[in-house]
Amino acid sequence: MPAPTLDVVAIGNAIVDVIAQSDDAFLAEQGLAKGAMQLLFTSEEAEALYAKMGPGIEASGGSAANTVAGIAALGGNAGFIGQVADDQLGKVFRHDITALGVAFDTAGRAGEPPTARCLILVTSDGERTMNTFLGASQHLPASALDKGLIESGAILYLEGYLWDPQEPRAAMDAAIRIARGAGRKIAFTLSDGLCVDRHRGDFQRLIDEGRIDILFANEDEIKSLNQTDDFETAVAATSAKLPLLVVTRSEMGAIAIADGERFAVPAEPIARVVDATGAGDLFAAGFLAGQARRHSVEDSLAMGAVCAAEVISHYGARPEADLRALVAKRLG
C-alpha cells in the first residue's frame, strides 16, 4: 500500500445549515431540548418548524464536513464522502466543500428526498439547538464509497450522527474495513449525547473490537457512553480501551488520554460566544490536522482549541479567519 496522500478522509452527513436567531421561549414552545440535536423524520416536520423560525442564513454544514473544511483551512489535504441530492442545496454543499480544496466525488442522488438541512436555532447565549432533516444524506450507500479515496487518507474520520440511518451505517462499517486493510487509522466522533443513547451498544462494540484509534467526545457523550454521571469514571473506562481519547469540555478546554498519559489544554480566550455551532467539529479539525502532521498530542490539543475558538466567535460552523495564521501564532 503506498503512503497516504491525504491527511484525513471523512464520512459524514452532507448538510446545509439554516441558522436563525431564536430565544428560550421559542425553544420551550416547540418542545426543543436546548443545545441538543434532534432528528426531523419527515419533510413535513422540517417544513413546519422552518415556517415558524425567523429569517435564516444558509451555510454548508454537517459535522464531519465542517471538520474537513477546518483541516483544509489549516492547509491540510482532506477528502469527504457524503450524500447530497441533485438539487440547489446539494450544489451549494458541493461548491463550498470543493472550493476549499477538499476532494468530494460522491454523486448527487436524483429525486426525493432533497439535500439534508439542519435548522439551527441560536440563542443570545450562543447555544445552538439543532433540528436535522437528513434527507438524501441518510441514503449514502456502501456502493458510493470511493475505495481509493479512503485508502489515500492517513486517517478515516467517521461521524457518529451518521450511525442513525441504516445505509450510511453499513457504508461506515465497510469503510472501516477498507481503511484497516490499508493500514490507516480510524477516528470516530460520538457526535451527541442523544445519539450515543440511541447507539450505545454499537459504539461500545466498535471500541471493544479495537476498530477505533481516536475517539472524540464531549462530557455528555462520554458519560452517556458509560452510563455514569461521573466524568472521571467515564474517561477512565473508555480511555483504557483506546489508544487515544479526546474529550472537549466547552469553556474548560479539552483533555486527551494517549496510551494512559493525560494531557490538557485550556479553552482559548474569546470576547463572546456568538454561535457555538461547530465548536466540536473544529476542535476535531485542529486536533486531527495536528496528528496527521505528526505534532505532539499537546500541540494537537492546542490546534483544536484555536480552531474551536475561531468558529464560535461568529455565526456559522465553518472558519472565516485564517486558521493557519492563528495556529502559527498559538504554537509560537
- Summarize as ranges the residues that interact with a copy of itself (CB under 8 A): 20-21, 50-51, 53-60, 69, 87-89, 92, 95-97, 99-100, 114, 316, 318, 320
Contact 205, 218 (CB under 8 A): no
**CA–CA distances in Å: residue 280 to residues 21, 151, 215, 227, 306:** 20, 25, 12, 21, 12
CB of 259 to a copy of itself, least distance (A): 37
- Comparing CB distances to a copy of itself, the nearer of 68 and 258 is 68
- Residues near 10 by Cβ (< 8 Å), separated by ≥ 6? 64, 65, 67, 68, 78, 79, 80, 81, 156, 157, 158, 159
- Comparing CB distances to a copy of itself, the nearer of 96 and 164 is 96
**Residue given cell 489549516 in the structure block:** 74
- Comparing CB distances to a copy of itself, the nearer of 61 and 253 is 61
CB of 146 to a copy of itself, least distance (A): 21
Cα–Cα distance, 72 to 78 (Å, whole number): 6
CB of 236 to a copy of itself, least distance (A): 40
CB of 277 to a copy of itself, least distance (A): 13
Cα–Cα distance, 253 to 26 (Å, whole number): 30
CB of 298 to a copy of itself, least distance (A): 31
CB of 20 to a copy of itself, least distance (A): 8
- Comparing CB distances to a copy of itself, the nearer of 23 and 208 is 23
- Comparing CB distances to a copy of itself, the nearer of 89 and 214 is 89
Contact 62, 140 (CB under 8 A): no
* Stretch (H or E) spanning 47: helix 43-52
**23, 24, 26, 28 alpha-carbon torsion, rounded to 10°:** 170
CB of 316 to a copy of itself, least distance (A): 6
- Comparing CB distances to a copy of itself, the nearer of 57 and 252 is 57
Instruction: Taking each helix axis as running N to C, give the angle between helix 279-292 and helix 297-311, from 0 to 180 degrees, rounded to the nearest 10.
Output: 150
Q: What is the DSSP string of 70-92?
A: HHHHTT--EEEE---BSSHHHHH
- Residues near 219 by Cβ (< 8 Å), separated by ≥ 6? 231, 247, 248, 249, 250
The single-letter code of the amino acid at 74 is L
Cα–Cα distance, 63 to 223 (Å, whole number): 20
- Comparing CB distances to a copy of itself, the nearer of 59 and 103 is 59
Copy the grid coordinates of residue 181: 486493510
- Comparing CB distances to a copy of itself, the nearer of 58 and 298 is 58
CB of 233 to a copy of itself, least distance (A): 41
